[in-house]
């Protein structure tokens, strides 16, 4: 039934979900994910305590809340997911859920992730002979990898650890010759920042001995281009039909919009920001490092020397719309805030992913869906129509509307085409 919420088949199709009150939505998700009463209470606002916050960061003053919701309709590799997302921007969850519904009609998403290999970097300076230093490290590659593994035995025990060492000589830099060592390190289900940093710290003294140079920086790279996730989908043209615009034309408009972001970095910046609207929201909800993900994604978008779209949208021979995206996604399911923050723990239970690779694949699908929603809106009715309807609610709240007044005031603002705080205050007074 399209106008009611049904549970039982573990379907992420939750028609009418948005019509429910917040407590009812929590109850639906709690049943769907098998949450305990305590876990459901976390969703209802009893998450991170001031005491927990005080242990997480220095100089803590309290906690800061952001809206937490779920995106529906996601079918990924044949499995249904509800996607927890933490974001303050109106229309994000509605847009991504709608896009996921369109993609679902074409069989859903296909997602995959590479092995979770991170890059640790060591910078070596003051080298008398760059070529000799490079050869010395090549000859001791196995020794260095074993040394790196010796300080993270728990990861090695789980099948991770050193995978390779790459050497990048830079004969001419502003500070003279430089040799950069890349330690490729499999961090399994951890994001792995601590593991990779510990590993490069451990081998740095031996690197200095072998090269005769001076080691300066030893730190991970957030351009984790060996640790990528890919999402793909196909949307039947019929699903894209818009009032007065046939579905095949809409598909063509979307492909043209994507081409704009491929050739023009000014457009690509906004295009990719829309992708990250979705990915960041899942990162925050699950306690992952969204700043690292942002850095890696944008660097990856410029990997050929020009900043470009992360996505590719094209129309196939049948007239259907095909989308694909690959980007670095170094995320974890163990360690860090993911295992400390109560709300992140509940979000992970709702997702029910079994590995960091699965989580990365889910995030890639969310990003692809978010991008589809944005460029479809831009290429048809424009981005403001739906966005401003939701923005009007924020304006009503900012003007002082009560919970019971918000929707009425927002509807009035939209109907007048006058979405301003001053007008909202006038409506509240009257």
What digits encode the pLDDT tens for the residues 305-315? 999 999 999 99
> Which one of the listed residues 189, 289, 312, 358 is annotated catalytic?
289
Contact yes or no for 43/349 (Cβ under 8 A): no
Which one of the listed residues 182, 242, 273, 314 is annotated catalytic? 273
- Based on the residue annotation, tell me whether 298 is a catalytic residue of this protein: no
Tell me if residue 387 is catalytic. Answer: yes
323, HSE (Cβ side, Cα atoms, 13 Å): 38
Task: Indicate the pLDDT class of residue 244, thresholds 50, 70 and 90.
Answer: confident
Q: What is the pLDDT of residues 369-387, one digit of tens each?
A: 999 999 999 988 765 555 5
Q: For 39-88, write each residue's pLDDT tens digit.
A: 999 998 878 999 999 999 999 999 999 999 999 999 999 999 999 999 99
Mean pLDDT of the chain: 94
Query: Which comes out higher in pLDDT, residue 113 or 418?
Result: 113
Measured between alpha carbons, how far is 359 from 287 in angstroms, rounded to an integer? 12
Q: Could you report the per-residue pLDDT of 260-292, keeping only the tens digit for each?
A: 999 999 999 999 999 999 999 999 999 999 999
Active site residue 391: no
**pLDDT attached to residue 242:** 85
Closest listed residue to residue 376, CA positions, set 247, 223, 283: 247
Residue 430 has pLDDT above 70, yes or no: yes
Question: pLDDT band for position 5 (50/70/90)?
Answer: very low
In this predicted structure, what is the pLDDT of residue 384?
55
Greater model confidence, 143 or 8: 143
Biggest CA-to-CA distance, the chain: 82
Share of the chain above pLDDT 70, in %: 96
411: buried, middle or exposed (CB in 10 Å: 19+, 13-18, 0-12)?
Answer: middle
Active site residue 289: yes
Q: Is the pLDDT of residue 331 over 80?
A: yes
User: What's the pTM value of the predicted model, to 2 decimals?
Assistant: 0.91
Q: What is the pLDDT of residue 383?
A: 54
What domains does the chain contain, in order, with CATH numbers? Answer: 17-112+232-381 (3.90.770.10), 117-221 (3.30.70.420), 386-429 (1.10.8)
In the chain, what percentage of residues exceed pLDDT 90?
83
Catalytic residue among 101, 298, 376, 387: 387
Quick one: pLDDT band at residue 1, thresholds 50, 70, 90? Answer: very low
For residue 160, the model assigns a pLDDT of 96
Residue of 39, 54, 80, 89 with catalytic role? 89
pLDDT tens, position by position, 190-218: 999 999 999 999 999 999 999 999 999 99
* Residues of the chain by 3-state class (helix, strand, coil), percent to 5: 50, 20, 30
d(Cα 57, Cα 59) in Å, to the nearest integer? 7
Instruction: Find out whether 288 and 360 touch, Cβ atoms under 8 Å.
Output: no
């Amino acid at each position: 039934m399209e106008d009611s919420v049904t549970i039982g088949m573990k379907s992420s199709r939750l028609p009418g979900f948005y019509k429910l009150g917040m407590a009812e939505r929590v109850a639906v998700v709690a049943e769907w994910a098998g949450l305990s009463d305590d876990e459901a209470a976390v969703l209802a606002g009893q998450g991170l305590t001031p005491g927990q916050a005080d242990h997480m960061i220095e100089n803590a003053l309290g906690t800061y809340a952001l809206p937490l919701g779920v995106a529906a309709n996601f079918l990924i590799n044949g499995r249904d997911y509800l996607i927890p997302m933490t974001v303050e921007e109106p229309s994000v969850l509605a847009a991504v859920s709608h896009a996921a519904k369109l993609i679902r009609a074409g069989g859903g998403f296909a997602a995959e992730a590479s092995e979770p290999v991170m890059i640790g970097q060591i910078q070596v300076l003051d080298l008398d002979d760059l070529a000799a230093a490079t050869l010395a490290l090549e000859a001791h590659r196995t020794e260095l990898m074993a040394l790196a593994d010796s300080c993270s035995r728990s990861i090695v025990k789980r099948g991770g650890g050193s995978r390779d060492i790459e050497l990048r000589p830079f004969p001419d830099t502003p500070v003279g010759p430089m040799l950069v060592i890349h330690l490729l390190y499999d961090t399994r289900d951890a994001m792995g920042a601590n593991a990779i940093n510990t590993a490069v710290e451990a081998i740095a003294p031996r690197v200095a001995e072998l090269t005769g140079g001076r080691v300066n920086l030893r730190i991970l790279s957030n351009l984790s281009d060996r640790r990528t996730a890919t999402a793909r989908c196909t949307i039947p043209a019929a699903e894209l039909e818009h009032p007065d615009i046939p579905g095949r034309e809409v598909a063509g408009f979307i492909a043209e919009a994507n081409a704009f972001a491929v050739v023009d970095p000014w457009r690509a910046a906004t295009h990719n920001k829309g992708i990250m609207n979705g990915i960041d929201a899942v990162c925050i909800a699950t306690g992952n490092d969204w700043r690292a993900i942002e850095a890696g994604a944008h660097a990856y978008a410029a990997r050929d020397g020009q900043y470009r779209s992360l996505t590719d949208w094209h129309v196939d021979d049948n007239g259907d719309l095909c989308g694909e995206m690959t980007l670095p996604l170094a995320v974890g399911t163990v360690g860090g805030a993911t295992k400390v923050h109560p709300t992140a723990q509940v979000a992970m239970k709702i997702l029910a992913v079994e590995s960091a690779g699965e989580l990365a694949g889910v995030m890639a699908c969310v990003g692809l869906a978010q991008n589809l929603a944005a460029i479809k809106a831009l290429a048809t009715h424009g981005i403001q129509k739906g966005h401003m309807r939701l923005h009007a609610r924020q304006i009503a709240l900012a003007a002082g509307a009560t919970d019971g007044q918000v929707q009425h005031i927002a509807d009035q603002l939209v109907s007048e085409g006058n979405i301003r705080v001053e007008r909202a205050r006038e409506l509240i007074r009257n």
